[in-house]
Chains A and B, each alone.
Chain A
Amino acid sequence: MIECIKNYWEGSVANKIERSIAELYSDDPECADAAVFGRKTNVDRRGFLSGAGLAAMGAAVGGAIPFAQNMPGGLIPAALAQGQPATPAAGPAAKPEPKTVYLSFPGKNDKLVVIGEKPLVAETPEFLLDDDTTPISKFYIRNNGQIPDTAKEPDKWKISIDGEVNKPLELTLGEIKAKFKSQTRRMVLECGGNGRSFFTPPASGNQWTNGGAGCAEWTGVRLGEVLKLAGVKPSGIYTAHYGSDLHLSGDASKPTLSRGVRMPKAMDPDSMIVWAMNGEPLPNIHGGPVRLIYPGWAGSASHKWVTKITVRDKEHDGPGMTGTSYRLTIKPMVPGDKADPKNFKILESMPVRSIITSPAHGTKIAAGTRELKLRGAAWAGDLAVNKVDISVDFGSTWTQTQLSKPKNRFDWQRFTASVKVPADGYYEIWTRATDSRGSMQPHVAPFWNPSGYGGNPMHRVAVLIG
């Protein structure tokens, strides 16, 4: 027996540990290939499947693999990797955990996946992001603290502006609506930790796949106009945001989260104080009656239930601004190693990302189908998306998709493609977007950092024809 398999097997038995296929692959991918599928890695690093091995992998994914010769050695088939299928497989559970818990929340789609209940965090599986504008019912939920009660009189909600300003202000939402010109923009809001679950070793925090993002129509006023009314002093270089949600510990003196942005971002004409989402009053669960939106940047800057914006004369240091929170490494670090706090910079613009929204991961397609029609979405933080390519042969060949223009800055870009397949069987559709500065999504989550930001590997969707 191959030594690595023997060790693995005996270790599992001796320690009575149930170990997953993902774990086996993360231990030693090539050994895992040999153990599970009898697959040996070729010199060109693509896996070699033949005879029993090919049949075993076909059995594991549920169908023959026409492009098996292209599959990279050590790659976990998407069907076995994480990702939320539209229809979960039936059958008895061999083990009670982990199980997918779907969201049950008034007004929300019941296919949203709960990442945590306290605080409530739920993501949108990629196939639910198939609308041009993400409906409120499908929009992801991210909380850091307790969910406040719904405001009874939204227009009396008060927001104060203080700190490095000539004239501190306290305005009600009603006054803000009356005083400033409103605008509506369709813009992506994305959690800073989106894609965190793709890191190896695991990064700490909510284990988002790609579902911590959505693109809604936001209505409000330019934050910059409100700041100008207060008169930002030359010393005012950074914002600090505060909201009304209570810290999970119940300690009212402790801000749940308080992040901020550099003044140029606050003054960006698309940075807004918003009170409506898709034409409806901003729902409480999304920070209503009023929140901030800094499109393209980590979602935590877009403070929910906002009550105060303090202009500061230095980088803000509230909860969520320090340590490794919402920060990327300056110099790459060894994955899993102890972090050097001096080697971190604030995460601002989110990285380029693309998702396939149709077909859903786990779709069965009629036998004899030889052409796959695909839809998806791509976005790139502050930047635009230049192109999106898709592959159905494990990345050997790529097809450029038809990419739409954004409706306005920070809108996502929808794409479509049609691609031919040679036979029935198991396919993975891979997608990679390239942003307007030429950065392309990598194969794996890049530049490991302890809290897992910037995880934007290519999205993979498994489908079975026949």
Chain B
Amino acid sequence: MIMIFRSFVLALVVYGIAITASAQLAFNPRDETPEEFPSGAGRDETFYACTACHGFKLVAQQGMSRQRWDDTLTWMTEKQGMPELESEERKIILDYLESTFSPKAPAGRSAPNPFLKQ
């Protein structure tokens, strides 16, 4: 069991691939799609609510509690011009954010081990 577990963890450690976008003359943000991000109920609603203004990568690199996500949505509506969310939609979005981008799962910046090659 322990050995299986170790292999499982090590497999997770080595994921990650580099993507080099092709050269271009001016910068156009890449079009993101909801499918690039962790699946779950409410993913698409969350994706479209956030990407009306900013990239979803900004969301996906966070790891916050429901309370802090809730505060962030309040800040977005009060200070950043986000349209007010209806309570049902807000709940759907918070459920997704809480379950997917919690403090325990900081997705954003982990790097592959430079010394392990497959």
Contacts and interface: CB of A to CB of B under 8 A. Distances in A.
Contacts of B85: none
B110 A94 contact: no
Interface string A429-452: 000000000000000000000100
A405 interface: no
Contacts of B27: 104-106, 120, 147, 285
A99 B18 contact: yes
Contacts of A254: 81
Nearest to B61: A207
Interface in A68-124: 79-102, 104-106, 110, 114-120
A81 B75 CA distance: 31
Contacts of A84: 111
A147 B29 CA distance: 11
Contacts of B68: 204, 336, 450
Interface stretch (A42-50, A57-65, A232-240): A57-65
Interface string A221-262: 000000000000000000000000001110100100000000
Interface string A1-45: 100010001000000011111111011000000011010000000
A100 B23 contact: no
Contacts, number: 210
Contacts of B37: 97
Contacts of A285: 27
B interface majority secondary structure? loop
B80 interface: yes
A348 to B, nearest CB: 22
A248 B55 CA distance: 10
Interface stretch (B2-10, B41-49, B87-95): B2-10
Contacts of B32: 117
Given A21-B9, A207-B108, A202 B114 contact: no
Contacts of B81: 247, 249, 251, 254
A426 B30 CA distance: 38
A interface majority secondary structure? loop
Contact of B2 (A1, A62, A87, A248): A1
A201 to B, nearest CB: 4
Contacts of A17: 105
Interface residues on A, range: 35 or more
Nearest to B22: A104
Contact of A202 (B54, B62, B67): B62
B12 A248 contact: no
A362 interface: yes
B110 A323 contact: no
A248 B52 CA distance: 9
Nearest to B114: A362
A338 interface: yes
Nearest to A204: B62
B65 to A, nearest CB: 7
A94 B14 contact: yes
A329 interface: no
Nearest to A86: B114
B53 A248 contact: yes
A35 B6 CA distance: 7
Interface in A172-221: 197, 201-202, 204-207, 209
4 A-B pairs with least C-beta separation: A362-B114, A62-B115, A91-B118, A85-B114
Interface of A: 1, 5, 9, 17-24, 26-27, 35-36, 38, 56, 59-63, 79-102, 104-106, 110, 114-120, 147, 197, 201-202, 204-207, 209, 247-249, 251, 254, 285, 319, 323, 336, 338, 361-364, 426, 450, 462, 464
